[in-house]
Amino acid sequence: MFGFLGNKSGSLVGLDIGSSSVKLVALSKSGSGYTLEAYAVVSLPPTAVIDGNIQDVGEVAETIEKAVKVAGGKMSAAIAAVPASAVITKRIEMSNAFTEFELEDQIKVEADQFIPYPLDEVALDFEVIGPVKNNENLDKVLLVACRKTDVEQREDAISNAGLQCSIVDVDTYAVERAFPLTSPEQRDETDLVGVVDIGAATLTLNVFKGTEIVYSREQAFGGNDLTNTIHQQYGMSIEEVEQSLRLNDLSSEIQDMVVLPFRGTVAQQVSRSLQFFYSSGAHNELSALYLSGGTATIDGLADQLAEELGINADMANPFSKMSVNSRVNRSRLDRDAPSLVKACGLAMRGFEG
Ligand SMILES: Nc1ncnc2c1ncn2[C@@H]1O[C@H](COP(=O)(O)OP(=O)(O)OP(=O)(O)O)[C@@H](O)[C@H]1O
Ligand SMILES: [Mg+2]
């Protein structure tokens, strides 16, 4: 390991730096069970993070600091993620006779051939997945690369907030890790389950077969459209709109005139992302669809999707079977849980070797 994906274990907080807010999750683990010790969701200024890129490290650092205060614990280290869209991955086969040192050298040679940036601008990591079938001399190796700046901005924001950034992961790996918690039902290995995340700026569909993502697609759509419409039509500040959406205390006029029609638009966009999936190859129907992200918490969205698409749709709640520290406000948590999937998967990374 070169170490940008890190290799630490212990209790670290997961930090999801989204385009509208920072989400923090702190877990503890005993045996095979996790406990949610604390969490926080703190809004970011609208221009701090755009399209997954940190534009203002100072503003992000301040928001992380607030999140640590809200969560109220003594936290020293964190795990963050770069978006999958910023990452290039490649599976290669390598001789298993290499020493770790030789392997690193060889990987640089390989990486140079498929990465469109000079290697000194690239953060590179790899994982040996296991032996190649029918060839005892080769290992399957997963190469992961992204621009150094994408990693460094996150590390800087976190260290300016007074925490150590122990690991920078890839966000889809976090979603994959949290998946067994968000989809607790036992299913056949061949069942396909979708998890659609609808954030402020991006809608992402990940389709799982077993515990692995077999399809992933992002589109530029999210709750920002709703927030901006309410801001423009009703003269509320962006911050007020965001706050009211989260607390669910918008006037019934705004609910009926804006939020309800927007729910229809969200349903259309989800349906569109499913069409892309079905047209991408010979896939079976999804046996279930879980909704995550703040925009997915619009009241009644899961029911609407279930009805319109004839699909078994539900909210993703990674904490539904988890023990929860009594200091955590349960009813707040039930509303916030679908937005915390990524942060939860990042926190879980802290318990891996
Ligand atoms: N009850 C609600 N009804 C409608 N929209 C909501 C509600 N609660 C939150 N939102 C919207 O959810 C969005 C925030 O979701 P989330 O925290 O998942 O986004 P993000 O992770 O910051 O963004 P992205 O993933 O796109 O980078 C905001 O646009 C907010 O207005
Ligand atoms: Mg998000």
Neighbours of ion ligand 2 (CB under 5 A): 18, 199
Name every residue whose Cβ is closer than 8 Å to that of residue 130 and which is 6 or more positions away in sequence.
139, 140
Using alpha carbons, list the distances in angstroms from residue 87 to 5, 123, 169, 175, 254. Answer: 12, 10, 10, 15, 39
Residue 116 pLDDT: 86
User: What is the phi-psi region of residue 89: left when phi exceeds 0, alpha when psi lies from -120 to 50, beta otherwise?
Assistant: beta
Residue 352 pLDDT: 86
- Mutational test site, ligand 1, from 339, 341, 342, 346, max ligand atoms within 8 Å of CB: 339
What is the whole-number distance in angstroms between the Cα of residue 108 and the centre of ligand 1? 39
- Residue 20 CA: nearest ligand 1 atom is 22
What is the whole-number distance in angstroms between the Cα of residue 246 and the centre of ligand 1? 8
Ligand nearest to the CA of 337: 1
Domain parsing of the chain, residue ranges = 86-148, 184-315
Residue 30 pLDDT: 87
- Residue 338 CA: nearest ligand 1 atom is 18
Ligand nearest to the CA of 49: 1
CATH of domain 86-148: 3.30.1490.300
- Mutational test site, ligand 1, from 20, 47, 202, max ligand atoms within 8 Å of CB: 20
SS (H, E, C) the chain: CCCCCCCCCCCCEEEEECCCEEEEEEEEEECCEEEEEEEEEEECCCCCEECCEECCHHHHHHHHHHHHHHHCCCCCEEEEEECHHHEEEEEEEEECCCCHHHHHHHHHHHHHHHCCCCHHHEEEEEEEEEECCCCCCEEEEEEEEEEHHHHHHHHHHHHHCCCEEEEEEEHHHHHHHHHHHHCCCCCCCCCEEEEEEECCCCEEEEEEECCEEEEEEEECCCCHHHHHHHHHHHCCCHHHHHHHHHHCCCCHHHHHHHHHHHHHHHHHHHHHHHHHHHCCCCCCCCCEEEEECHHHHCCCHHHHHHHHHCCCEEECCCCCCCEECCCCCHHHHHHHHHHHHHHHHHHHHCCCC
Q: Looking at ligand 1, which residue's alpha carbon is closest to its atom 21?
A: 18
Residue 183 pLDDT: 85
Residue 6 pLDDT: 44
What is the whole-number distance in angstroms between the Cα of residue 18 and the centre of ligand 2? 5
Contact between 222 and 295 under an 8 Å Cβ cutoff? The reply is yes
CA distance 92 to 188: 29
Contact between 184 and 337 under an 8 Å Cβ cutoff? The reply is no
Query: How many other C-beta atoms lie within 10 A of the C-beta of residue 297?
Result: 22
pLDDT along the chain (353 residues), means of 10: 41 92 95 92 93 93 96 90 92 90 90 89 91 91 93 97 95 95 85 96 96 94 97 94 91 96 98 96 91 96 96 96 94 95 97 82
Q: In CATH terms, are 86-148 and 184-315 the same topology?
A: no
CATH topology of domain 184-315: Nucleotidyltransferase; domain 5 (3.30.420)
What is the whole-number distance in angstroms between the Cα of residue 3 and the centre of ligand 1? 32
SS (H, E, C) 39-79: EEEEECCCCCEECCEECCHHHHHHHHHHHHHHHCCCCCEEE
Residue 3 pLDDT: 41
Q: Could you tell me the pTM of the whole model?
A: 0.93
What is the whole-number distance in angstroms between the Cα of residue 104 and the centre of ligand 2? 33
Q: Which residues line ligand 1 (CB under 6 A)?
A: 18-21, 199-202, 222-224, 226-227, 242, 245-246, 248, 293-295, 297-298, 339
What is the whole-number distance in angstroms between the Cα of residue 295 and the centre of ligand 2? 10
